[in-house]
Chains A and B, each alone.
Chain A
Amino acid sequence: MIYAAFKRSDFAHARILSIDTSEAEKLPGVIGVYTAKDFGDYIKPGPLQVPPPTAIKGSTYQVRTTLPIAIDKVRYSGEPVAIVLAESRYIAEDACDYIYLDVEPLPAVIDLEKALEPDSPLVHDDTTTNLAAHVVQERGNYAEAAAKADVVIKRKIHVDRVAGSALENRGMVVNWDERAQLMTIWCGSQSPITLRNQTAARLGLFENQVHVITPFTGGGFGPKINTSLPDDVLITYLAKKLGRPIKWLEDRRENFLSTTSERDQVHFAEIALTKDGIILGVKDVFIHNSGAYNPYMLTVPLNTQTHTVSNYRVPNFYTEIKMTWTNEMIVTPVRGAGRPQGVFVMERLLDAAAKELKMDPAEIRRKNLIQPDEYQVHTGIIGQDFVEGVLDSGDYPSSLAKTLDIIEYEKFRKEIQPRLRAEGKHVGIGICCFTEGTAVGPYEGAKVTVGSNGKVNVATGVASQGQAHFTTMAQIAADQLGVSYRDVNVTTGDTAAFAWGAGTFASRGITIAGTAVHLAAGKVRAKALELASKYLETPQEELEIADGVVRVADMPSKFITLGDLASRANPMRGTFPPGAEPGLEATAYYGPPYGATGAGAMAMIVDVDPETMAVKIDRLAIVHDCGTPVNPMIVEGQVHGGVQMGIGNAFFEKIHYDENGQLLTASFMDYLFPQATDMPAKMELGHVEVPSPLNPLGIKGVGEAGAIPTPAVFNQAVEDALYDTGVEILESNLSPSKIFTYVKKAKGK
């Protein structure tokens, strides 16, 4: 095994004058040092990971996808300029320090508003603007609605950037077997099949010559969906060229510098209402930071558009994306993926409106929620899956009511808060609603096989990063096949076990792949019953499948085991009926017409220290509807984790680039990861279950729920706690010092 390390640019934006690798090459143990020129024509911009938004009328876009290694210019700090291979990782990293990069620094494009000004420096020299894409969507007519409104409230709102921060960094081992003509890639990934396909295409191989295995990936949270990044592009090439296995693994600093991240949008938003607090319209024009390249196109900002007003009745809605390149890390989804920004904007507007109209924050929301008898709701806004968003099912008022109950909203407002305020405490409460668009297409598949041992194997193309697919998919198959879930083995993330699929993203694993498992297991069940009917000489209607056997329902002693059936389904001699398929095995695919939409509400009680602006979350309640839960314990675990990420986004975490594009938060000393004592002392969950009509199991996704409303609720609660200052906080990713600055400003100091 040999080891790779990357020499990364410290400059965010610079023209490369020279790269001197001669001293690095002399270091004992160094096998090779490679810059762009050593790869020749192989270095070109990678494929788009997501199609362009051609389905949206009038949208314009430019494509500048990721370069695997800087050629003549670096466009973000951390972009690789050379890769070293050495006998150990220690030596490889040493060698990076002996590579001399000479550059002409260029002014960095960092500020989102300035990036779109005509005199801004350009991230890509062959363009005339940093505007990477422009999309306008409107339902109704906002201008007319605003003209008729009693109140129009305008705000500028900023949501900053966060990291996925999976505890396991990205990494891979790549082996090229020259004799077998087979490449094996072991890595942590959310999209092993995409990685296989793009690697094969790039290296001129068939897909089945690239075997990707992603065993027990240590967390995903979005960034591991990416492929055709510098690491996989360069390492696969070198492994094949040298015929030696290569290992590369990020450390945490490198993770911050080389792994994609998300959020960073500036919104110019307005809401038009009647004096009774009925929403007439919302307008939102926002700049979305795509980073230095845009391989992921508009997935994130389209999610923002579809989540800004989705749970409220907003007859007139204008939403405009201006996506800009900057000299920062490429932006691709991180748990939440555009949704938290949309919810943050809408909920902040509602909070401003409630203050203006002297309404209770819960009341203004209750008044405007979509009602349970209105489904399905066609939103008129095209989403990340390029079809019009449709709210398939739900009961938003119940989620809100249940949340208010759990947090004891009335009691807090009427008894607890006045008492604590009288004692000089600064306690506040927040309440917000949200939707979670989940389970988008295109499709996933599953193969279900009964072995001659009577046990069941399930293989699917999605990879697991801790979502408990091994449990939930086993449950789904077991239900169909009358076996214990313990007798179901689930294989995920191995392209040799299942070769088709898109990946684990958008809270879609259990809904899309789980439904495919259900359908495939149903086919196997039908096959088992048909075969058993023949062997037991009993009509199918009189059979039952349970306890690992097919038996005659009213004569349980007359049975045949699933293992026996599996053997008999694969005859070794004799004849085979035309049209039959061997084995007790079936494959099925499932793709939804559009995504299933989960939803919920969250409330939070905070205690703010007015001296230090430290915020303690005393209580947090979240009610969520993910349709029929396959496993309630796992659903709750997903919500807990999402909430933690949301709390991080609200108050601790922030990827901070300075004006030169230097990343100031490249360690866990500087990037504050939420810890156990940062979490609410009391976190309570409630559930509303409205099965989705889109799939036979009635499931909606849940993976991102907790992360979506938290920053919005947090700001509302903090403002309520600091009511005597009149502070309004229109950004997320806060810190004590930031709140302190806001309060000072509010007090006019």
Chain B
Amino acid sequence: MTQKFPITVTVNGTPYTREVEPRLLLSDFIRHELKLTGTHVGCEHGLCGACTILFDGEPARSCIMFAVMADGHDIKTVESLGTPDHLHPVQEAFMEKHALQCGFCTPGFLIDIVHYLGNNPNPTDEEIREAIDGNFCRCTGYHNIVEAVKLAAKKMAAARQGA
């Protein structure tokens, strides 16, 4: 298992070249090799959704992928969304609606919701629940997360109109 392979992965727009063991999980690569610790690891078997990233634009669970599978691909992590001074509308909505408590699951939710609202700008409550059903949260009962998604949809619509 000590043999290493070179990979080049573009993460949040920056290409990184590293040598990795073939069994290195993509989540561990992102967190420990690239030091992008916004991607959280809650179960390591693909159920909880905390480690969700965008892989070539589609949501994927980085804890059940190997880093070598990302060679030549494009990844976006939660760090790509906003900064403390310039939050993404979904992040703003989470803050305003108290949609996070401990915040551990939040990065996965944000990634999934940003992607979902990109394709479904005006979802119903039921559609929102379906959309976030693959992400586990233990603190909020999902209630305020649904509220935040609705608010984010409004914010993004307003921004589109303004643009």
Contact = CB atoms under 8 A, between A and B. Distances in A.
A361 to B, nearest CB: 25
A252 B42 contact: yes
B102 A673 contact: no
Interface stretch (A135-143, A575-583, A640-648): A640-648
Nearest to A706: B141
Given A676-B132, A676-B142, A676-B146, A668 B45 contact: yes
Interface stretch (A119-127, A214-222, A546-554): A214-222
Contacts of B139: 219, 466, 637, 641
A167 B45 contact: no
Nearest to A164: B138
B116 interface: no
Interface in B126-142: 126, 128-130, 132-142
A675 B133 contact: yes
A167 B42 contact: yes
A634 B98 contact: yes
Contact of B138 (A165, A633, A667): A165
Contacts of A94: 1
Contacts of B141: 640-644, 679, 683, 706
Contact of B98 (A28, A166, A633, A669): A633
B10 interface: no
Contacts of A167: 40, 42, 48, 50, 102, 104-105, 136-138
A587 interface: no
Q: Which of B21, B102, B136 has the most CB of A within 10 A?
A: B102
Interface string B115-159: 000000000011011101111111111111110000000000000
Majority secondary structure of chain B interface residues (helix, strand, loop or mixed): loop
B45 A90 contact: no
Q: Which of B98, B103, B139, B145 has the most CB of A within 10 A?
A: B139
A641 B48 contact: no
A679 B142 contact: yes
Contacts of B144: 636-637, 640
Nearest to A28: B2
Given A676-B142, A679-B142, A679-B143, A216 B102 contact: yes
Contact of A169 (B42, B103, B105): B42
B29 to A, nearest CB: 12
Interface in A338-389: none
Contacts of A636: 98, 144
Contacts of A675: 133-134, 136, 142
Interface string B89-125: 0000000001011111100000000000000000001
Nearest to B63: A251
Given A640-B143, A668-B47, A683-B141, A677 B42 contact: no
A465 interface: yes
A252 B45 contact: yes
Nearest to B137: A167
A641 B40 contact: no
A641 B138 contact: yes
Interface in A444-490: 465-468
Interface string B68-104: 0000000000000000000000000000001011111
Contacts of B40: 167-168, 218
Contact of B43 (A28, A642, A668): A668
B4 interface: no
Q: Which of A165, A169, A217, A466 has the most CB of B within 10 A?
A: A466
A220 B102 CA distance: 9
A673 B132 CA distance: 14
A474 to B, nearest CB: 15
Contacts of B1: 90, 94
A51 to B, nearest CB: 30
Contacts of A677: 129-130, 133
Interface in A478-524: none
Contact of B101 (A169, A252, A641, A679): A641
B44 A251 contact: yes
A219 B102 CA distance: 5
Q: Which of B45, B101, B129, B140 has the most CB of A within 10 A?
A: B101
B23 A168 contact: no
A669 B104 CA distance: 20
A644 B138 contact: yes
Contact of A466 (B102, B126, B130, B135): B102
Interface in A674-710: 675-677, 679, 681, 683, 706
Contacts of B105: 167
Contacts of B102: 166-168, 216-220, 465-466
Given A669-B45, A675-B133, A677-B130, A166 B101 contact: no
A668 B45 CA distance: 8
A217 B135 CA distance: 19
B103 A676 contact: no
Nearest to B23: A90
Nearest to B128: A676
Contact of A676 (B2, B42, B48, B145): B145
A344 B133 CA distance: 29
A644 B43 contact: no
Nearest to A254: B44
Contacts of B146: 676
Contact of A645 (B126, B134, B136, B138): B138
Interface string A206-241: 000000000011111100000000000000000000
Interface string B18-32: 000101100000000
Give 10 nearest A-B pairs by CB, closest first: A466-B102, A218-B104, A640-B141, A466-B101, A644-B141, A668-B47, A252-B43, A676-B142, A167-B104, A219-B102
Given A167-B105, A641-B139, A683-B141, 7 more contacts: A167-B137, A169-B42, A252-B45, A636-B98, A673-B136, A675-B133, A675-B142
19 contacts: A90-B1, A90-B24, A94-B1, A167-B42, A167-B102, A169-B42, A252-B44, A253-B45, A467-B101, A640-B140, A641-B101, A643-B141, A644-B140, A644-B142, A645-B138, A668-B47, A673-B48, A673-B138, A677-B130
